[in-house]
Amino acid sequence: MPSNPSAASRAESFHPAFVVAWIFCLIFYFGQYALRSAPGVMVPELTHAFALSALGVSSLVGLYYYTYSLFSLVAGASLDRYGAKYVIPLGVVMLAGGAALFGVGWVASAEFGRLLQGAGGAFAFTGAVYLATHGFPPRYLATAVGFTQCFGMLGGSAGQFVVAPLIHGGIAWQQFWLYAGIVGVIVAALILVLTPADHDVRITEQSSVWSMFTPYKTVLTNPQSYLCGFAAGLLFLPTTIGDMIWGVAFLRQGWHIDYAQAVDRASMVPLGWVIGCPVLGYIADRIGRRKPMLIAGALVMLAAALSILYLPQGTLPPYLAGFVLGFGSGAAMIPYTIIKEVNPDHVKGSATGAINFLVFTFSAVMAPVYGWLLTKISGGAELTLPVFQKAGVVGIASIVLAIILSLFLKETGRAVTAKSGPPHEAAPRAPDPSVIGEH
């Protein structure tokens, strides 16, 4: 707690400079999500341009998650040590450079570009939350971070329903990536100019660069951290891979839906998540329990995934199942809250980096595995509905396994901790810069 009244007053006040920087960082986060999901609407173009199979396309697009997971660890630690003014613009420049390289048209440049996009994109959410923590008083922080996450998922939806008509209308797919790189450089310059330089001096006085990673030892020696990461990572697979990479291809080649409608339907999944995340989180807070809402959301996901894969086309309203799948997947955010509550206060920022690492490592590993499975089942021929239905068992199994793992998580909601005390009691401290996790 602040040691004097004036410090307390400052803590309860808005800091306009950081709020303005946060707003521009939202643009970074929106763009990061749009570029993450955009390849899903250009699978035929990528297949033709790079002469790739289903496995090749899935592996290429999935490269994003390798560096994203790794740099999730770097992002939080570097922001704590160096502040936002230079770290966040660096992340934007990396994302922009990766976009431009992806649009060059060579396989090697596309691969490196996708890796660079993932590395730069890892700074978007963490950077936005860092700026929100410095710009908003504690009573508005959860709202600011919740809005940040929703804005990112709107970018994921836009990466499908906005990019699709662009690349099939006014510009070629390669031009889209090049223009995205130019816009990214402009955003990086604006963030650099507008972001204040001051940050937590206590962190910058550490003796070595490597010491900023020390908190990860505490987080990664806690078994509950792995349960949180594995449960969330498994619940993310149907959206990060099933929808953002293969959703449009499934609807077009499996259900033979025209391109525009397939894009619109696929974009319902991230749109549903935008609503599902705050609603499920609010209910979890309201009832004071985390696990029931985590499991309930996973069950909703399971029902939606089964209906999409195996019910005859036309059984449900066209856009309902995708929206419900996205809504239920909002429960994947609850483990982000739990991991911070099962670890000490002084490592809560690192806890977010750790769960991001675990979650997106799952996506990095499973993207090529799913592409390989599609290729194996189809025998290298055209992808059909039976092929997607057989491969879809992976997504169904991941949801079921996540539910099983959730049973072994500690309940950290206030309905339980009010009786037994919080899992980790600690002296009061400033608000943690990562109060909510990322999808």
CA-nearest of 21, 14, 10, 155 to 87 is 21
Greater confidence, 426 or 120?
Answer: 120
Mind listing the domains of the chain with CATH numbers? Answer: 11-420 (1.20.1250.20)
Contact 259, 164 (CB under 8 A): yes
Instruction: Determine contact, residues 142/21, Cβ cutoff 8 Å.
Output: no
The model's pLDDT over 100-137, given as tens digits with 9 standing for 90+, comes to 999 998 999 999 999 999 999 999 988 887 888 788 88
Question: What does the alpha-carbon distance between residue 229 and residue 207 come to, in Å, rounded to a whole number?
Answer: 30
Distances (CA, A) of 392 to 180, 310, 374, 385, 395: 32, 10, 9, 10, 5
pLDDT-above-90 percentage for the chain: 45
Express each pLDDT in 344-358 by its tens digit: 876 766 777 788 888
pLDDT at 258 over 70: yes
Residues contacting residue 260 through CB under 8 Å, at least 6 positions apart? 164, 165
Q: Report the C-alpha gap between 124 and 27 in whole angstroms.
A: 9
- Per-residue model confidence as pLDDT tens digits over 275-316: 888 888 888 888 888 899 999 999 999 999 999 999 998 899
Query: What's the rounded mean pLDDT across residues 180-200?
Result: 89
Q: What is the pTM of this model?
A: 0.77
AA letter at 177: W
- CA 147/CA 143 separation, integer angstroms: 6
Contact 371, 63 (CB under 8 A): no
The encoded tokens of residue 426 equal 């600690």
Separation between Cα atoms, residue 380 and residue 375, nearest integer Å: 5
- Most confident by average pLDDT, 36-45, 78-87, 90-99: 90-99
The pLDDT tens digits for 385-419 are: 999 999 999 999 999 999 999 999 999 887 887 66
Q: Which residue's entry shows tokens 């003796």?
A: 207
Tell me the per-residue pLDDT of 238-253, one tens digit each, with 9 for 90 and over: 988 998 889 989 999 9
The pLDDT value recorded for residue 422 is 54
User: Which residue's entry shows tokens 């021929």?
Assistant: 381
Q: What is the mean pLDDT of residues 225-249?
A: 92
Q: Which pLDDT band, with edges at 50, 70 and 90, does 44 fall under?
A: confident
Residue among 404, 413, 437 at smallest CA distance from 227: 404
CB 164 within 8 A of CB 260: yes
259's tokens:
């391109």
Q: Is 336 helix (H, G, I), strand (E, B) or coil?
A: helix
Give the containing element (helix H, strand E) for 129. Answer: helix 107-135
pLDDT given for residue 426 in this prediction: 42
Give yes or no for residue 27 having a pLDDT over 90: yes
CA 55 to CA 32: how far, in whole Å?
24
* Burial zone of 428 (CB within 10 Å; 0-12 exposed, 13-18 middle, 19+ buried): exposed
The DSSP secondary structure of 217-255, one letter per residue, reads: HHHHT-HHHHHHHHHHHHHHHHHHTTTTTTHHHIIIIIS
Mean pLDDT in the chain?
85
Long-range residue pairs from 380-384, CB within 8 A, at least 24 positions apart, any chain? 380/53, 382/253, 383/54, 383/249, 383/253, 383/254, 384/253, 384/254
